[in-house]
A and B are shown apart, each in its own frame.
Chain A
């Protein structure tokens, strides 16, 4: 998934580059964190990883969603955040922030259900279960539930679902994911728009069959055993043909969920009210306790933090999807027992790391030495400590990915400040005891400080470090070319769905290397490429998870990245609300269980 970009100029660049963006970047103050936040004495956070991700059964997919204890219906819930939702047309949604609000009015074939223990299950949302495949993931069949209706009361049919996928081929829908489009045309290797141009000229896509009103069958051009996870992306949400206003749909989508849009004033407000045609019995995930939602935009993290702390007027009934506690107020909030009762912490799916350009640093021992000498702890302190940054990472996959295994090949948790002696030994084995490395970075105040720490740590181990500042606005344009002249550069990633296929393949499949592709390390190891193919073919989700964890280990053995953080979220909400939960799939606050205390 692509997550919401915030604050730091570099993050804005990330979004602008259309590559990837940061979840919870609200935390990255950009100007470095206050001194107090950097201490090690702060309370440990409960950023528990998702305990388990599993594929649910038909029974799990049956509505209604289990009651939230103490929840009552009625009232208005307020939402305050920095930005308006950049897209509401499901086909144009990649960003987690847009996806979070869409959950209130857009339904997908499958979706994630979270239990009180924090476990996540993929369940059928519009579909009765998570889909069935009999040929290893090439053909997928979904059956729609009974009683599904659009906001005008017309039934949601298989033809609507087929149409929702067809319209993604239209020339104006470019922002969303394109997995399904690539897999639904005859030739996956050729651009999909050359093979089908969308439904607006009356042509249909024959690879989606609708034998009756309730059944949709997808014929993919290859085996994709986790296609049922793919269709959980908001990008594959349902859009009715009769209400498709093309480009305008982005401002006012038609609801299949518990709320409908009453008004949307760009950059100012979004008002939702109950959709009477949504039947809770069809929905295993969503509640609809409040009568209305009033959402306001243009409110910075500093202001939302102040308003949540003051907890006055309507702000008592307010939450925020994305704004985190402003970095300079974190210590104050941690010391405020009352505010902590209405705080939310969690691990987002986002990971950050430093890419090592394996095309330039070909000696594996040099790469291992970089990781061994890396000053992870110092960097975390500069960023304001764990609560402002994240947990120090040691793997490629985030703990939020199915199959994640914790391992630490380079002893980074034991010596997070770096081990120059061990690094020196590795360099001695490499034959170049004093290699020169070019470290390219975003020229922001924080990154300047981080660069000093990196330079110091690597120099201690015997490296010669050339620091190359890059303009934050064009950072990704600079590191994008395969023949870029840099050895180490920062990056970030979040899986599009919580399995290894999108957590790992786009970044580490050597066959996908092109200019500006997400494989910034340019790692191309035949054994890893083969292992990716094998993992992609495993139909059992848990088995596939194990295979992806093994690949994770292979990549770390290749020392292609210095993992930085598993990113964390820390936010507040008003005292008048209950059921405000952290959504581990999107890495921010979730609206679907919220109720107004009465």
Chain B
């Protein structure tokens, strides 16, 4: 198990380095000069040269990338921005704040949004999926299945403002979504994030309902389930101990990917509710041609995916004893 983990984590680090190098290179492949953003309206050529020097952009590309890598461990000094202590991912070109602290600052928002929504997604998605599978072909199944089709076809930017208008502005049942740190006031944290959780989960829950239902139906038709039934096990045991476990493996896989994607930024939800999370950072980084920030959020998103993949693989072993890690 340990050697397996060491192997996987090393692999993950190599992947992250490769991703960062590619992002770095792609950014500079665009014929655009980020230094221009630091130059006044009537930009003198000598000022532009000074800025390129201040940003370290007068060096060859691989030297710049090397400095970026070294900065993560040793910190860096920039003329344009001042010092950047380790772990230094550079300064944002757009907001002039250290990229690392911007990400650290915003991560709790994205984490709260993701975890809260995950609870709703898993609880409702799997529950309704199982009910549908349990009552397959019956009215309850039809209701669950059709509402999941409706849910899956809704869009966050449609449902979000709509619910905000009714629940927040008109009925004033819940406060306007924003982020209150859980350490500051757990109740406010909960109520202020309730709407984003619900909206984000409407779309995802529907997917999990459909997935759980089809997986369960599939599993229930498997030979081993039939065998278990033939041996006289109760439907309940067959349903929960056998079929459920089998159905969970693909759901876990998809959930791992979804969770990682959300951790990399629930872009539309964050934009809809003005939540200052990683997703908002990513969008702004792209809009502003903000390479350091772009690299930073790319790495965070990639790290989330790589790490959660490892976690999911480890969890397989617990759910399905047939999977051995070494």
A interface residues (Cβ-Cβ under 8 A, vs B): 2, 9, 12, 15-20, 84, 86-87, 94, 171-172, 174-178, 191, 193-194, 246-248, 250-251, 265-268, 296, 298-300, 302-303, 306, 310, 312-313, 473-474, 476-477, 496, 506, 514, 516-518
**A175 B32 Cβ-Cβ under 8 A:** no
How long is the Cα–Cα vector from A265 to B46 in the complex, in angstroms? 33
Please indicate the chain A residues that have their CB under 8 angstroms from the CB of B95 in the complex. Answer: 84, 86, 266-267
**A473 B32 Cβ-Cβ under 8 A:** yes
- What are 26 A-B pairs at a CB distance below 8 A? A16-B32, A16-B34, A18-B35, A19-B36, A84-B95, A86-B95, A94-B40, A171-B79, A174-B38, A174-B51, A178-B42, A178-B44, A194-B46, A247-B82, A266-B97, A267-B284, A300-B271, A300-B274, A306-B161, A312-B168, A473-B32, A473-B289, A474-B30, A477-B32, A477-B33, A517-B42
Among A2, A16, A298, A312, the residue within 8 A (CB) of B41 is A2
Please indicate the chain B residues that have their CB under 8 angstroms from the CB of A514 in the complex. Answer: 45
Question: Taking the complex as formed, is B287 at the interface, i.e. its CB lies under 8 A from any CB of chain A?
Answer: yes
- For A15, A267, A514, the residue with the greatest tally of chain B CB atoms inside 10 Å of its CB is A267
B102 CB, nearest partner CB in chain A, Å:
7
Please indicate the chain A residues that have their CB under 8 angstroms from the CB of B147 in the complex. Answer: none
**Interface size class for chain B?**
35 or more
Q: Which DSSP category, helix, strand, loop or mixed, fits chain A's interface? A: loop
Please indicate the chain B residues that have their CB under 8 angstroms from the CB of A86 in the complex. Answer: 94-96
- In the complex, which residue of chain A has the Cβ closest to the Cβ of B179? A268
Known: A86-B94, A266-B97, A268-B276. A20 touches B41 (CB 8 A): yes
Please indicate the chain A residues that have their CB under 8 angstroms from the CB of B310 in the complex. Answer: none
- In the complex, which residue of chain A has the Cβ closest to the Cβ of B164? A306
How long is the Cα–Cα vector from A516 to B48 in the complex, in angstroms? 11
Known: A16-B289, A474-B30. A191 touches B44 (CB 8 A): yes
Q: Which of B60-76 contact A (CB under 8 A)?
A: none
Among A246, A267, A300, the residue within 8 A (CB) of B102 is A267
Please indicate the chain A residues that have their CB under 8 angstroms from the CB of B168 in the complex. Answer: 312
**B41 A313 Cβ-Cβ under 8 A:** no
Please indicate the chain B residues that have their CB under 8 angstroms from the CB of A17 in the complex. Answer: 33, 36-37
**A16 B31 Cβ-Cβ under 8 A:** no
Q: B13-57 interface mask toward A, CB cutoff 8 Å, 1 = contact, 0 = none?
A: 000000000000000001111111111111111110011001000
How long is the Cα–Cα vector from A310 to B80 in the complex, in angstroms? 42
**B271 A474 Cβ-Cβ under 8 A:** no
B26 CB, nearest partner CB in chain A, Å:
13
- In the complex, which residue of chain B has the Cβ closest to the Cβ of A9? B287
Please indicate the chain A residues that have their CB under 8 angstroms from the CB of B289 in the complex. Answer: 12, 16, 473
Please indicate the chain A residues that have their CB under 8 angstroms from the CB of B276 in the complex. Answer: 267-268, 298
Question: Taking the complex as formed, is B172 at the interface, i.e. its CB lies under 8 A from any CB of chain A?
Answer: yes
Please indicate the chain B residues that have their CB under 8 angstroms from the CB of A172 in the complex. Answer: 54, 79-82
Q: Across chains A and B, which 6 residue pairs bring their CB atoms closest together, nearest first?
A: A247-B82, A18-B36, A18-B39, A191-B46, A310-B169, A266-B97
Please indicate the chain B residues that have their CB under 8 angstroms from the CB of A302 in the complex. Answer: 161
How long is the Cα–Cα vector from A193 to B44 in the complex, in angstroms? 11
- For A20, A247, A299, the residue with the greatest tally of chain B CB atoms inside 10 Å of its CB is A247
How long is the Cα–Cα vector from A543 to B226 in the complex, in angstroms? 99
How long is the Cα–Cα vector from A298 to B246 in the complex, in angstroms? 44
A229 CB, nearest partner CB in chain B, Å:
16
Question: Taking the complex as formed, is B141 at the interface, i.e. its CB lies under 8 A from any CB of chain A?
Answer: no
Known: A172-B54, A172-B80. A313 touches B37 (CB 8 A): no
**B30 A175 Cβ-Cβ under 8 A:** no
How long is the Cα–Cα vector from A84 to B54 in the complex, in angstroms? 23
**A16 B44 Cβ-Cβ under 8 A:** no
**A18 B43 Cβ-Cβ under 8 A:** yes
Known: A12-B287, A86-B95, A306-B165. A176 touches B40 (CB 8 A): yes
Please indicate the chain B residues that have their CB under 8 angstroms from the CB of A299 in the complex. Answer: 274
How long is the Cα–Cα vector from A20 to B172 in the complex, in angstroms? 43
Known: A16-B288, A300-B271. A94 touches B41 (CB 8 A): yes
Please indicate the chain B residues that have their CB under 8 angstroms from the CB of A251 in the complex. Answer: 96-97
Please indicate the chain A residues that have their CB under 8 angstroms from the CB of B79 in the complex. Answer: 171-172
- In the complex, which residue of chain B has the Cβ closest to the Cβ of A505? B42
A585 CB, nearest partner CB in chain B, Å:
16
- In the complex, which residue of chain A has the Cβ closest to the Cβ of B277? A298
How long is the Cα–Cα vector from A310 to B165 in the complex, in angstroms? 9
B113 CB, nearest partner CB in chain A, Å:
14
Please indicate the chain B residues that have their CB under 8 angstroms from the CB of A266 in the complex. Answer: 95-97, 102
**B176 A18 Cβ-Cβ under 8 A:** no
A236 CB, nearest partner CB in chain B, Å:
13
Please indicate the chain A residues that have their CB under 8 angstroms from the CB of B54 in the complex. Answer: 171-172, 174
- Taking A299-B274, A312-B168 as given, write out 4 further A-B residue pairs in contact, using a Cβ cutoff of 8 Å, ordered by the A residue number: A94-B40, A193-B46, A266-B96, A306-B165
Please indicate the chain A residues that have their CB under 8 angstroms from the CB of B30 in the complex. Answer: 473-474
**B41 A496 Cβ-Cβ under 8 A:** yes
**B38 A18 Cβ-Cβ under 8 A:** yes
**B31 A477 Cβ-Cβ under 8 A:** yes
**B47 A174 Cβ-Cβ under 8 A:** yes
B105 CB, nearest partner CB in chain A, Å:
8
- In the complex, which residue of chain A has the Cβ closest to the Cβ of B109? A268
Known: A16-B289, A474-B31. A174 touches B39 (CB 8 A): yes
Please indicate the chain A residues that have their CB under 8 angstroms from the CB of B82 in the complex. Answer: 172, 246-248
**A506 B42 Cβ-Cβ under 8 A:** yes
- In the complex, which residue of chain A has the Cβ closest to the Cβ of B272? A303
How long is the Cα–Cα vector from A95 to B50 in the complex, in angstroms? 21
How long is the Cα–Cα vector from A56 to B38 in the complex, in angstroms? 34
**B41 A247 Cβ-Cβ under 8 A:** no
**B50 A174 Cβ-Cβ under 8 A:** yes
